[in-house]
Amino acid sequence: MRPMQSSTTHRPTRRALRPLAAMLALTLAASSPGLAQESAINHIRPLMQRDHFAAVVEGLTLDRDQRQLATLMFEDYLTGVETLARRVDDAANMAGRLQLNEVFAGRVRMGNVELREMQADVLRTYLECGPEADRLLQGFTMGLEGIVRDEQKSALPAALRDLRRATLLHPYQIGQDTFTYAGDGVDVIELVAAGRREGGELADLDAPVIDEALSSYAVQLDHVLQNHAAARRDHELRLRLADVSGDPEARSTHEQKVLDAWRALYILNRDTVQLVGSIVLGAKGEWAQRLWQDRFDRACFSWMYAPRTPDRQLDWIRANVETPPIVQAAELAYNEYLGERDKLRKEAIGILVEARLERGVILHQLTSKRDIEAAAGDLYTDLLRNSGSLANLDTSHAAEIEALLDADQRLTMRRAVSQRR
């Protein structure tokens, strides 16, 4: 369906969206949730944006008059978001947010006790954001339900499910490069779409049963999001408060609540991926099934798949070495490295998932062993051993690849590889 042509509806929407776009830019600029430049917009979740609104409108095939009404409701929603952000930021400033800016910029000194108290006071002001964000989005969806005609109502549940996926699940993907990310924003519907693109392991696979599985998944995912998203958001903030306040008992309580929400999502995603994998196995064989499973693992633990030294070395050799025997030898050494690295990576993923699912511990390489000794000390030891084995694997194969080059090439490659980290 073509977009609405009325300039009277488009212009106010663009004006209303400018302040929101500016706030979203600030959200992306805050590289760490612990930094002082954090503001209320970081905590307004769910947060509907223009593309989310446009998708809902298209999914419901609204007519011109309905679109105008929906646009007005969206503008009211944006006004509510902006008002909430200003009000909470004002409260955060009163609690000391601006002083924290000065402290973290190094312009003002503050004692640790006073700093922690002020951080906690500022964080508490953000507790209002989540429930109010829920209320604002609910107000929009209720208004939408009121303007659709009877013949359009059958499309409404799917449109709202898509909106909740976009606003409750997908924002977690922004943290996928951190050690604590374990598939928090993974959407199997997106994974299937990626696998179906040209050259993917699901391309040219005529399997309606996959679409049936995704339809069931979408409904189950919506239940998970509605049942857990708000609690997870609030407990994540309270977990940070417990860290700042130095309250280990509260920290444990809120961490378990966060894990409850993560567990519900991960199990649903894992089971759906395995179901699709069994279909792929029967249709295309083990190679496609392995690629599909690897796509899920990569989405859940993308930080594990960042390029390492041998990856960069081979890229450099392919681009700069014109001696075929040397390139071929490098390829052979690299392929051996890939096989061993894949085994270690799968082992590490298994350890991290077991720690979360079975032991109730968010485990990563930077975890203090003292903090998890009772619940997962053995898994922590296994994770450190795995990490050490991977580092040794990197070192040994990097040296093997370097040995194929002359002294000048090695020096040039080292410089190029170090600059790309």
pLDDT tens track for 144-178: 999 999 999 999 999 999 999 999 999 999 999 99
**The pLDDT value given to residue 368:** 60
The per-residue pLDDT for range 299-317, each reduced to its tens digit, is: 999 999 999 999 999 999 9
Decide which of 304 and 14 is more confident: 304
104 and 145 assigned to the same domain: yes
Give the residue numbers spanning the domain of 373. 303-419
**The pLDDT value given to residue 27:** 41
**The pLDDT value given to residue 177:** 92
Question: Is 388 inside a domain boundary?
Answer: yes
**How buried is residue 18: exposed, middle or buried, by Cβ count under 10 Å (0-12/13-18/19+)?**
exposed
Structure tokens at 389: 């084995």
Least confident of 21-35, 227-241, 257-271, 291-305: 21-35
Question: Is 34 inside a domain boundary?
Answer: yes
Query: Does residue 3 have a pLDDT over 60?
Result: no
The rounded percent of the chain whose pLDDT value lies above 70 is 88
- Of the three residues 260, 278, 300, the one that is the final residue of a domain is 300
**The pLDDT value given to residue 13:** 39
Q: How many folded domains does the chain comprise?
A: 3
Question: Is 173 inside a domain boundary?
Answer: no
Write down the mean pLDDT value for the chain.
89
**The pLDDT value given to residue 35:** 41
**The pLDDT value given to residue 5:** 35
Q: Model confidence at 38, in pLDDT bands (50, 70, 90)?
A: confident
Query: Does residue 20 have a pLDDT over 60?
Result: no
Calculate the CA dihedral of residues 42, 47, 48, 51 and round it to 10 degrees: 40
**The pLDDT value given to residue 371:** 61
**The pLDDT value given to residue 28:** 36
Structure tokens at 236: 């994540």
104 and 192 assigned to the same domain: no
232 and 315 assigned to the same domain: no
**The pLDDT value given to residue 369:** 57
- Of the three residues 280, 300, 320, the one that is the final residue of a domain is 300
Calculate the CA dihedral of residues 178, 179, 181, 183 and round it to 10 degrees: 120
Decide which of 296 and 6 is more confident: 296
Question: Is 176 inside a domain boundary?
Answer: no
**The pLDDT value given to residue 372:** 67
Q: Model confidence at 125, in pLDDT bands (50, 70, 90)?
A: very high
**The pLDDT value given to residue 19:** 45
Segment 58-70 shows an average pLDDT of: 94
217 and 92 assigned to the same domain: no
The per-residue pLDDT for range 329-379, each reduced to its tens digit, is: 999 999 999 999 999 999 999 999 999 999 888 887 666 656 666 667 789
Least confident of 17-26, 112-121, 146-155: 17-26
92 and 28 assigned to the same domain: yes
**The pLDDT value given to residue 420:** 72
2 and 109 assigned to the same domain: yes
253 and 115 assigned to the same domain: no
Query: Does residue 210 have a pLDDT over 90?
Result: yes
> Under 8 Å CB-to-CB from 297, ≥6 apart: which residues?
345, 346, 349
Question: Is 53 inside a domain boundary?
Answer: yes
Question: Is 242 inside a domain boundary?
Answer: yes
Question: Is 150 inside a domain boundary?
Answer: yes
**The pLDDT value given to residue 377:** 77
**The pLDDT value given to residue 160:** 97
**The pLDDT value given to residue 367:** 62
- Of the three residues 251, 285, 300, the one that is the final residue of a domain is 300
277 and 336 assigned to the same domain: no
Question: Is 177 inside a domain boundary?
Answer: no
34 and 101 assigned to the same domain: yes
324 and 412 assigned to the same domain: yes
**The pLDDT value given to residue 198:** 82
254 and 295 assigned to the same domain: yes
237 and 113 assigned to the same domain: no
| Alpha carbon distance 126, 110 (integer Å) | 22
